[in-house]
Structures are given as structure tokens and as C-alpha cells.
């Protein structure tokens, strides 16, 4: 992704010119550094933040890094008490560790003083991006970038009369965006290996990446809907019989079956960018990815516009989708906390949130998403709005990184590397997670 860095304003004043100009030069040199991942929404935030600078005179510098190194780069920065970031848009899973370890400024008093209410934001984003402990009124971030896993499909292929007739004869239903996981697999099988416009295409693209979070962020969209639970709802950290329940096993088996039957060759370690490339190149009929990328896809000259459609993650026994997105926090080690809080105050305003959506960011503000005009504001808006009502997130525990790497290994070993059974993979995951929580005293 393109990294955009504004030109720094000069902050030094030559002593020989006299001290009379120092105060004005110092005011001009006010600057905040905001850290995030390098992707399309970050570019939109650069544009949006010009309004903040115009209003306050505070210059904005941006430190954007690729998703593949985003977590390592900024978690290391926080753990080392570095001063690079004044503001950080941190992943939802970081909130527990950042709160417990003192990396973020607690925002409760600031919110109260400035009449910023979490009731003005979508509940799932408050729980997911701002709260620790979860479901308590302790806030460490302002919901900044609402996101979830959604799906794109080749609307133009689905509309072809000959394909519609063949599909209906075979499955006794119309060729349409799938509403169940069973329908998703059928539709993917229908397109797998088919020739369209002289080119061999494949049924679907799903996440398989092992190194960071990819396959976990993909497989959960099947696991949740078959009945997977992270823990006993009545007894926190009791895992056995929930993580590895019969329904969980079915969900993991489904994801592997979908991977084996209906994806393109070579997609053994693929995440966001590989999915975008597969869809843009006309390789797949359907694609799993984050809603954050959908504005760019809709604008794509080759597959956007009338050629692309969007749908919510299909249901099965239950109906969920994986939560993505991030909150914006003030880093406690910053030397510019007051100015950083000023940015939070500005960003929370309804008119700023409205422009954020218009520029390509995903607002979590109710004033934006509950506006009667919102569903018609973009082709993907209705699916996004529905998805944010059914989101479920991964662990946000302080030890989330260990928990995530454990799941990455066990799921990838089974789905991609063909090691063992689904039950064995989930049993091993229960043991892995049990060790982590035991070490955490839980």
C-alpha cells in the first residue's frame, strides 16, 4: 500500500534571529504522529485529517506499515514504551493487553468532560474496540474503523442466462448470493473449474494465511455459525466441550471442505491482498474479505460497478461474522497527550464521522449508520450494516497473541497441511489455550 507522509514543518528557530520569534515558531511546529496499517482507509484518514489541521493548526504525521508487519511493529513500539506514536489505531484484540500494561490512556474522564458518549456508537464496536474488561464501562479507545468480514461476488456472472438455467436445473433454486453456508459451497462448486469467457475460473477465495491472523479470521466465519464457542458462557475460561464441541468440529470440517473443493490452486498461505488480486483478475466467482476493501473494489474498472455484488457472511445453525476494525487510542508514552486528545474530540463529532464514511472510512457512529439514507449511500452499505449487527470477535485477552498463534497453527495444520482430524486439531487447541490461561492465573 502507498504510504503517505506529509512534509514536516520546520520546528527550529535560529538563535541568532532572536528569541522574539520563538513562541510563534513553536506553535507552528505542533505535530502529532498517528500510527496505523497501510491500506485504503488510511489514505482516506490522511485526507480527512486535513480538516483537523485547518481547525487547530496541529500538523499530522502518519506512520503506516503493511498489514503483514502491523502488529509486530506497533506492539513492539508499545512494549518498549516508545514515543513514535501519539495516536494509534490498534486492532480490536490489542485492547486487553494495552489496558492492562498501561499502553493506552484511559478515556473515561475525558469522554465525560467533553460529553462524548459511547451510547452514540454501535454497541458491537464499543465492546470490541473500546472496552476492557469487556462489557464494563472502562474505555481505552474511541471506535474509529468499523469492519467485519463480508463477501463479494461476480454479479455479472450470476446474471448470465445460461448459467442461471443450468444452476436452477441442478440445485432447484435461483443462482443468487448464498444465504447459508451450504448454499455457499454449492455455488462455489458450480463455478469451480468452469470456463467463463475462455478462462478457467474458481468458486471462491477464503483466508488461509498462517503467519499472523489470516486463517483464524477466515475459519471463524464457519465455526461461529456451526456453533463454536470460545468458552463456557456460564464459566469463563472453561474450554473443553465448547472449543472442541461436535458443532465446532463440523464447522472446521466445513471450512476444509470448502478450501479443498472450491479454491484456486496455490492459495495455501493467502490473506487480504491475495483475495483482492484473485477477484480483480477475474479468477474467482466469490471472495471473502473485509468490508474496508469494498469501496476500492467497487471503483475497480475491471470488476467494479455493475459487475460486483456484496453479501453478508451466510448463516448455518447460527448467524455471525468475524469482527474486524479498530479503535483510536492515545498512547500513554506520548509527549503530546493533550493535543492527541484534541484529535479524539474532533474525530468524534458527527459531521466528521459523516465525512469519514464519505471518504471511504467506516464510521461506527449511530448518527451515520442509523441515518435513513445510509443503506442507499453505497452498494455495500446494507450488507455492512447487517454484518455489524451479527459480529463476534476473537479473544481480546492480554495474552491474545499467544492464543492467536496457537489457533493459527492448529487450524492451518488441519485445513491446509492435512494433519490429523478436525477433532484432534480442536482438542490440541483446547490444551494450548488451557496452558496459556493457566500461566495467566485464569
What mean pLDDT is reported for the chain?
93
Alpha-carbon distances of 303 from 158, 164, 243, 274, rounded to whole Å: 13, 20, 38, 15
Confidence (pLDDT) at 28? 53
Please give the Cα distance from 193 to 201 (Å, whole number).
5
Among candidate residues 18, 51, 103, the one with its CA nearest the CA of residue 355: 51
N- to C-terminal Cα separation, the chain: 40
Assign 3-class secondary structure to the chain: CCCCCCCCCCCCCCHHHCHHHHHHHHHHCCEEEEEEECCHHHHHHHHHHHHHHHHHCCEEEEEEECHHHHHHHHHHHHHCCCCCCCEEEEEHHHHHHHHHCCCECCCHHHHHHCCCCHHHECHHHHHHHHECCCCCCCECCEEEEEEEEEEEEEHHHHCCHHHHHHHHHHHCCCCCCCCEHHHHHHHHHHHCCCEECCEECEEEECCCCCCCCHHHHHHHHHHHHHCCCCCECCECCCCCCCCCCHHHHHHHHHHHHHHHHHCCCCCCCCCHHHHHHHHHCCCEEEEEEEHHHHHHHHHCCCCCHHHEEEEECCECCCCCEEEEEEEEEEECCCCCHHHHHHHHHHHCCHHHHHHHHHHCCCCCEHHHHCCCCHHHCCCCHHHHHHHCCCEECCCCCCCHHHHHHHHHHHHHHHHCCCCCCHHHHHHHHHHHHHHHHHHCCC
Query: Check: CATH 3.40.190.10 for 148-322+396-440?
Result: yes
Question: Beta strand pairing status for 284-290 and 142-154?
Answer: antiparallel
Q: 167 near 321, Cβ under 8 Å?
A: no
Confidence (pLDDT) at 26? 43
Please give the Cα distance from 325 to 293 (Å, whole number).
12
Please give the Cα distance from 354 to 361 (Å, whole number).
9
CATH class of 31-147+325-392: alpha beta
Query: Using omega within 30 degrees of 0 as the cis cutoff, is the peptide bond preceding 133 cis?
Result: yes
Q: 129 near 92, Cβ under 8 Å?
A: yes
Q: What is the mean pLDDT of each run of 10 residues along the chain (442 residues)?
A: 33 32 50 97 98 98 95 96 98 96 98 98 97 97 98 98 98 98 98 98 98 96 98 97 98 98 97 97 98 97 98 98 98 98 98 97 98 97 98 96 97 98 98 97 94
Please give the Cα distance from 128 to 219 (Å, whole number).
19
Instruction: Give residue 23's Cα distance to chain centre.
Output: 42
Confidence (pLDDT) at 356? 98
Confidence (pLDDT) at 2? 35
Q: 396 near 80, Cβ under 8 Å?
A: no
Confidence (pLDDT) at 214? 96
Q: pLDDT tens for residues 299-351? A: 999 999 999 999 999 999 999 999 999 999 999 999 999 999 999 999 999 99
Q: pLDDT tens for residues 220-279? A: 999 999 999 999 999 999 999 999 999 999 999 999 999 999 999 999 999 999 999 999
- pTM of the predicted model over 0.85: yes
Please give the Cα distance from 157 to 160 (Å, whole number).
5
Please give the Cα distance from 196 to 189 (Å, whole number).
14
Please give the Cα distance from 257 to 289 (Å, whole number).
19
Domain residue ranges in the chain: 31-147+325-392, 148-322+396-440
Contacts with 36 (C-beta within 8 Å, 6 or more apart), sequence order: 42, 45, 62, 63, 64, 70, 88, 89, 326
Amino acid at each position: 500500500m502507498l504510504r503517505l507522509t506529509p512534509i514536516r514543518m520546520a520546528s527550529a528557530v535560529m538563535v541568532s534571529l532572536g528569541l522574539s520569534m520563538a513562541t510563534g515558531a513553536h506553535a507552528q511546529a505542533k505535530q502529532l504522529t498517528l500510527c496505523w496499517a497501510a491500506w485504503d482507509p488510511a489514505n482516506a484518514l490522511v485526507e480527512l485529517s486535513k480538516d483537523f489541521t485547518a481547525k487547530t493548526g496541529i500538523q499530522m504525521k502518519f506512520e503506516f506499515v503493511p498489514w503483514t508487519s502491523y502488529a509486530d511493529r506497533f506492539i513492539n513500539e508499545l512494549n518498549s514504551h516508545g514515543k513514535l506514536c501519539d495516536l494509534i489505531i490498534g486492532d480490536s484484540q490489542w485492547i486487553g493487553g494495552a489496558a492492562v500494561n498501561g499502553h493506552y490512556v484511559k478515556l473515561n474522564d475525558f469522554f465525560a468532560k467533553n460529553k462524548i458518549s459511547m451510547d452514540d456508537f454501535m454497541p458491537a464496536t464499543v465492546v470490541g474496540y473500546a472496552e476492557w474488561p469487556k462489557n464494563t464501562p472502562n474505555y481505552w479507545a474511541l471506535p474509529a474503523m468499523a469492519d467485519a468480514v463480508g463477501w463479494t461476488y461476480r454479479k455479472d456472472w450470476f446474471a448470465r442466462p445460461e448459467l442461471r438455467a443450468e444452476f436452477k436445473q441442478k440445485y432447484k433454486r435461483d443462482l443468487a448470493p448464498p444465504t447459508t453456508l451450504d448454499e455457499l459451497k454449492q455455488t462455489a462448486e458450480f463455478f469451480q473449474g468452469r470456463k467463463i469467457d475462455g478462462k478457467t475460473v474458481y468458486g471462491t477465495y477464503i483466508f488461509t494465511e498462517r503467519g499472523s491472523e489470516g486463517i483464524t479470521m477466515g475459519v471463524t466465519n464457519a465455526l461461529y455459525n456451526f456453533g463454536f464457542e470460545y468458552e463456557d458462557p456460564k464459566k469463563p475460561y472453561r474450554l473443553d466441550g465448547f472449543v472442541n464441541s461436535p458443532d465446532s468440529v463440523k464447522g472446521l470440517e466445513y471450512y476444509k471442505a470448502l478450501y479443498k473443493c472450491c479454491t484456486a490452486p496455490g492459495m495455501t498461505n493467502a490473506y487480504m491482498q491475495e483475495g483482492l488480486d484473485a477477484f480483480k483478475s477475474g479468477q474467482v466467482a466469490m471472495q471473502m474479505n473485509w468490508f474496508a476493501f469494498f469501496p476500492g473494489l467497487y471503483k475497480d474498472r475491471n470488476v467494479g460497478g455493475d459487475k460486483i455484488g456484496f453479501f453478508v457472511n451466510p448463516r448455518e445453525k447460527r448467524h455471525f461474522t468475524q469482527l474486524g476494525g479498530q479503535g483510536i487510542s492515545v498512547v500513554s508514552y506520548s509527549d503530546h497527550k493533550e493535543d492527541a486528545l484534541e484529535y479524539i474530540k474532533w474525530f468524534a463529532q458527527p459531521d466528521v464521522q459523516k465525512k469519514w464514511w464519505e471518504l471511504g472510512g467506516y464510521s461506527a457512529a449511530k448518527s451515520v449508520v442509523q441515518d435513513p439514507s445510509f443503506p442507499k449511500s453505497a452498494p455495500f452499505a446494507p450488507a455492512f450494516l447487517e454484518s455489524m449487527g451479527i459480529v463476534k470477535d476473537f479473544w481480546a485477552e492480554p495474552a491474545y497473541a499467544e492464543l492467536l498463534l496457537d489457533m493459527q497453527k492448529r487450524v492451518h495444520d488441519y485445513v491446509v497441511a492435512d494433519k490429523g482430524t478436525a477433532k484432534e486439531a480442536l482438542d490440541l487447541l483446547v490444551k494450548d489455550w488451557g496452558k496459556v490461561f493457566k500461566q495467566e492465573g485464569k
